[in-house]
């Protein structure tokens, strides 16, 4: 079995060395033919110099050319694996078995076009960062298809490229990743796959450590970008219901968790944080009415709004 690993990076820390070490162990222990492609958005702190000595394909692009979907697509088109595993530079595999578990059902079931693993909060995760991981990545695996949309809603197409595997033929069948999306390129692909009849597997025993401690302002910006995505790809909401329903469930469960744990002091932050997320999302949905200069101020992905040089 040939497996391609693709990792976009920009000024990565030492975590990238742990990821590459785990990939090497996977190749040696399971005797799979492995290729690793690192696509670097012109890191400027010498953090990628060591990669030139590694047995990897290193692709350099300009920072201004980075795009969540287009950059991954560029690397995917150069890959040769039957299965392709995407990681982000800050997602640390729990062990080599995480890679095995990520692909196991795709190998057995030819109808599965994509799988994604469980993200565990890092040791430094705050309450909100840790809760988001526990809510979105439960301990029970599931295989999702179009038949689940009435019960799962938008969660039917939920996935994350921080740790995801694809059947290369399935990814090609939907045209690869979108080449100009602000984020959520994996959601776009998941929706396209499910509409084509593919299934998506969530593998709860394929684990990485990956979490973020966002401030309220960062949450606002992240949800603005999410709103932009769903506003521009409204067919996803039309097919798999509104995202607000899942957001309300998230907030309700989060508040109950705060009360259950006796963390009453977090309630003001809870209300402010969820208000900022809701406002950001709604502004993103209607971003076409917002001047470009303002969008550049309230986004987490500033390069998306810059005019690309020819």
The verdict on residue 262 lying in a domain is: yes
Q: How much is the average pLDDT of 57-77?
A: 93
Banded pLDDT at 61 (limits 50, 70, 90): very high
**What is the domain extent for residue 132?**
2-209
Banded pLDDT at 224 (limits 50, 70, 90): very high
The answer to whether 106 touches 26, Cβ cutoff 8 Å, is: no
> Is 80 exceeded by the pLDDT of residue 227?
yes
Q: Are 27 and 171 in the same domain?
A: yes
- Rg (C-alpha) for the chain, rounded Å, is 19
Banded pLDDT at 223 (limits 50, 70, 90): very high
CATH number of domain containing 152:
3.90.550.10
Which of 169, 185, 209 represents a domain boundary (last residue)? 209
Nearest CA among 204, 210, 207 for reference residue 124? 210
Give the model's pLDDT for residue 112: 98
The verdict on residue 310 lying in a domain is: no
Q: From residue 22, how far is each of 14, 29, 96, 308 by CA, in Å?
A: 13, 10, 6, 36
Q: How much is the average pLDDT of 161-167?
A: 98
Q: Tens digits of per-residue pLDDT, 92-134?
A: 999 999 999 999 999 999 999 999 999 999 999 999 999 999 9
> Is 50 exceeded by the pLDDT of residue 309?
no
Q: Are 120 and 248 in the same domain?
A: no
């Amino acid at each position: 079995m040939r497996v391609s690993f693709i990792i976009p990076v920009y000024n990565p820390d030492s975590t990238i060395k742990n990821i590459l070490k785990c990939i090497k162990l996977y190749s040696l222990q399971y005797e799979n033919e492995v290729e690793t492609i690192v696509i670097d958005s012109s890191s400027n702190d010498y953090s990628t110099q060591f990669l030139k000595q590694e047995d990897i394909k290193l692709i350099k692009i300009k920072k201004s050319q980075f795009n969540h979907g287009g950059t991954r697509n560029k690397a995917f088109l150069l890959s040769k694996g039957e299965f392709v595993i995407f990681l982000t530079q800050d997602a640390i595999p729990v062990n080599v078995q995480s890679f095995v578990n990520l692909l196991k059902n795709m190998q057995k079931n030819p109808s599965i076009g994509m799988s994604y693993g469980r993200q565990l909060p890092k040791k430094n995760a705050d309450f909100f960062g840790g809760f988001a991981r526990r809510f979105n990545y439960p301990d029970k695996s599931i295989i999702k298809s179009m038949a689940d949309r009435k019960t799962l809603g938008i969660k039917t197409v939920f996935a994350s490229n921080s740790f995801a595997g694809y059947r290369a033929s399935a990814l090609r069948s939907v045209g690869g990743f979108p080449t100009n999306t602000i984020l959520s390129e994996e959601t776009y692909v998941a929706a396209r796959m499910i509409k084509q009849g593919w299934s998506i597997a969530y593998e709860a025993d394929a684990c990485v450590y990956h979490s973020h401690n966002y401030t309220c302002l960062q949450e606002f910006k992240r949800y603005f970008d999410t709103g932009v995505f769903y506003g521009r790809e409204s067919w996803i909401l039309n097919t798999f219901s509104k995202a607000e329903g899942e957001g309300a469930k998230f907030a309700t469960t989060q508040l109950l968790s705060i009360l259950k744990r006796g963390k009453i002091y977090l309630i003001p932050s809870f209300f402010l944080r969820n208000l900022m997320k809701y406002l950001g999302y709604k502004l993103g949905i209607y971003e076409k009415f917002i001047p470009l200069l303002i969008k550049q101020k309230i986004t987490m992905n500033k390069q998306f709004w810059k005019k690309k040089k020819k």
